Amino acid sequence: MATVPAQPGPVPTRGLGCPPQVRQHGPTPLHLKRVPETRELRLRIRGWCAEAASLFDRALPPSKDFLAGQARQLLEREQLAVGYLGWTMVGLASAFWERHVAAVPVSRRLFLVPPLDAGDASRPWAQLRSRAESLGYQVMTTDDAARILQKLLQGSVDAVVGVASLDVLEKALDRFLSPGIPCVAVPLMSTDGGATGVDDAWVQEMLELRGSDTPPLPPSYVHLMRGAAQLLSAAELSRLCSLDHSERDGQTSPAVEVRSETDPYPLTATETIAHDFLRKGGKHSRPFITLATYDALTGAQATQANGAAIMAGWPDGVRRTALSIETFHKASLVHDDIEDDDDFRYGDPTLHRRYGAATAINVGDYLIGLGYRLVSCERTRLGADVVAEVLDCLARAHMRLAEGQGAELMWRDGGNKRLTAQDALHIYALKTSPAFEAAMAAGARLAGRGAEYDAAIHQFAHDLGIAFQILNDLKDWTNDPDNKLAAGADILGGRPTLLWALALETLSPAQADELHELLAADTPQNQDRRLARARELYQVANVFHQADQLVEKHRLRAEQLARQIEPDPLRRLLLFLIDRVLERPHEPATDASDENGMGHHVRHES
């Protein structure tokens, strides 16, 4: 049986981050999220989806963009409204993964349902939840994204069955499909007033999936993602960092009765607080990048079905190097929070709020020392030359990060708040890109493939880092439960951002002066009014749309470079990183651009 043809040329067109023929960035427009009105039409589309999915090349998992292209073709062929695009994409994904989900034991499947408020017991998905629990499913609600990801990374879940609105399922497609996690889903029925019901028979069918006749799993980043998360587990973190305990002047630590974050023993308090902070929050993107780059350049065996066993045979030097990347990242967060006087990190009070600035600075310094020691201790096993090259990569990244942070602090604490977009982008390149570059460069050197990729990795990290930081600016204007909790923290903290620079270049002189007054610490207006007016001025200047355009420009640059990279596993990894790292804010900030997304022409170059 013939498979769906690939796009001409050397670049794969689907799966594990590969670029599609037609890329759709950002959320699917509302007019493409129509639910088929009758059960008969839903069954017909599902049948067409099953037929189409049976022809997909199973060498790679389908990407969201590939599914969008296939769904458009299907709807055009059957002369159906393009408004069913989102629903058809879910049908195609479910059809592709159905046999894989069927082969996973029910106890290792996760059933996702919408959250239930008081009095919602009559909702159809309330009964379905009970049914899933009786079958042995693990059950969670779709609004708990952090815990869902944690479940997947802990290794207790191998497949997902979901019931949700098309809006939620669209985000789930990014979260589950891009790493290669088997998943099937049933969209909620909906009207303009919201979700009203669910195709009960379809959900029952998905819950009852059983079978052992399954095709081989396509390559997946799940094992590498789990490996990165495992580095930060209490047991593995203690094991990999145990090198320090035998070197404390030949002495062992006294017995400790109380060794916890809330009441640490003074002689081990720094280590206890540092390890606890290492384990908190984040997606562990940087250690994942190191592990995945190493794998991509040593045969890409960890993306196969036996990936966990492959990784178990890797030397600890690879794990310690990946962990060192995370220790540097977390150290920078501790110090940044002090310098910015932030109140929250990962939903908890920042370390300097809990223990005081002096202790927090010391913990950050400890994490920096730990990062270098994790690498240097492996010189015998990895080889002195490799360790020296990795340490050089880390040291250069560390210096550039400090330069970027220093530039931000000098601007924040100086009297002249004039900032160009060019200046902001340069600060971003220094503050964010080096961490991505160091993570990839370290993985390449561990694989024995260092210098040949230096230039490409540098440029890729440059564009990825800038796009990531711009998205972080946009995220600052949403309520962010995973990080600092308060919208508009950057402008209240007086930090230089691209949004600020774009506003100054676009607003009238009077409006620009008003924006400066809002930034002043002694402004008589209360915080909520300051933020509301700043948002209004940003909308007048159309900065959210302009920033979004710049994200796309740097994303496309990174993609163009990635498509030229050899070997194939490394190319797929870079494209996967673009989609994974550049996730959109949950509630994108918007401005007064027109319905077609046309706004001011962006002339700024980085």
Higher pLDDT, 175 or 188: 188
Which pLDDT band holds residue 11 (cuts at 50, 70, 90)?
Answer: very low
**Does residue 209 belong to any structural domain of this protein?**
yes
**Does residue 162 belong to any structural domain of this protein?**
yes
Q: How many CB atoms lie within 10 A of CB 2?
A: 6
Query: What pLDDT shows up at residue 273?
Result: 94
**Does residue 45 belong to any structural domain of this protein?**
yes
Question: Which one, of 96, 89, 112, 222, lies nearest residue 161 by Cα?
Answer: 112
How does pLDDT run across 479-518, given as a tens digit for each residue? Answer: 554 444 456 767 776 778 899 999 999 999 999 988 888 8
d(Cα 422, Cα 603) in Å, to the nearest integer?
10
Higher pLDDT, 254 or 94: 94
**Does residue 156 belong to any structural domain of this protein?**
yes
The total domain count for the chain is 1
Query: What pLDDT shows up at residue 479?
Result: 57
Mean pLDDT of 544-562: 95
DSSP E strands in 206-263: the ranges are none
Question: Which one, of 81, 271, 68, lies nearest residue 177 by Cα?
Answer: 68
Query: What pLDDT shows up at residue 525?
Result: 63
Mean pLDDT of 476-481: 66
127 is in which domain, residue-wise? Answer: 30-220
**Does residue 116 belong to any structural domain of this protein?**
yes
Which pLDDT band holds residue 371 (cuts at 50, 70, 90)?
Answer: very high
**Does residue 211 belong to any structural domain of this protein?**
yes
d(Cα 600, Cα 140) in Å, to the nearest integer?
43
Higher pLDDT, 539 or 214: 539
Which pLDDT band holds residue 176 (cuts at 50, 70, 90)?
Answer: confident
Residues 466 and 441: beta-carbon distance below 8 Å: no
Which pLDDT band holds residue 450 (cuts at 50, 70, 90)?
Answer: confident
Among 108-117, 172-181, 385-394, which is the least confidently predicted range? 172-181
How is residue 541 annotated by DSSP? Answer: T
Mean pLDDT of 189-193: 60
DSSP E strands in 456-573: the ranges are none
Q: What are phi and psi of 550, to 5 degrees?
A: -70, -35
d(Cα 511, Cα 524) in Å, to the nearest integer?
18
Q: How many CB atoms lie within 10 A of CB 409?
A: 15
How does pLDDT run across 455-472, given as a tens digit for each residue? Answer: 999 999 999 999 999 998
Among 46-50, 139-143, 582-586, 597-601, which is the least confidently predicted range? 597-601
**Does residue 98 belong to any structural domain of this protein?**
yes
Mean pLDDT of 92-106: 93
* 567 preceded by a cis bond (ω within 30 of 0): yes
Among 328-342, 507-521, 556-570, which is the least confidently predicted range? 507-521
Which pLDDT band holds residue 174 (cuts at 50, 70, 90)?
Answer: low
From residue 279, alpha-carbon distances to 100, 154, 284, 346 in Å are 32, 13, 10, 11
| pLDDT exceeds 50 at position 603 | no
Higher pLDDT, 465 or 478: 465
Query: What pLDDT shows up at residue 588?
Result: 43
**Does residue 179 belong to any structural domain of this protein?**
yes
* Neighbour-count burial of 358, counting CB atoms closer than 10 A to its CB (0-12 exposed, 13-18 middle, 19+ buried): exposed
Query: What pLDDT shows up at residue 217?
Result: 83
| pLDDT exceeds 80 at position 254 | no
Query: What pLDDT shows up at residue 250?
Result: 43
Query: What pLDDT shows up at residue 524?
Result: 59
Q: What is the DSSP string of 318-384?
A: HHHHHHHHHHHHHHHHHHHHHHHT-SEETTEE-HHHHH-HHHHHHHHHHHHHHHHHHHHTTHHHH-H
The per-residue pLDDT of the chain, averaged, comes to 83
Higher pLDDT, 179 or 315: 315
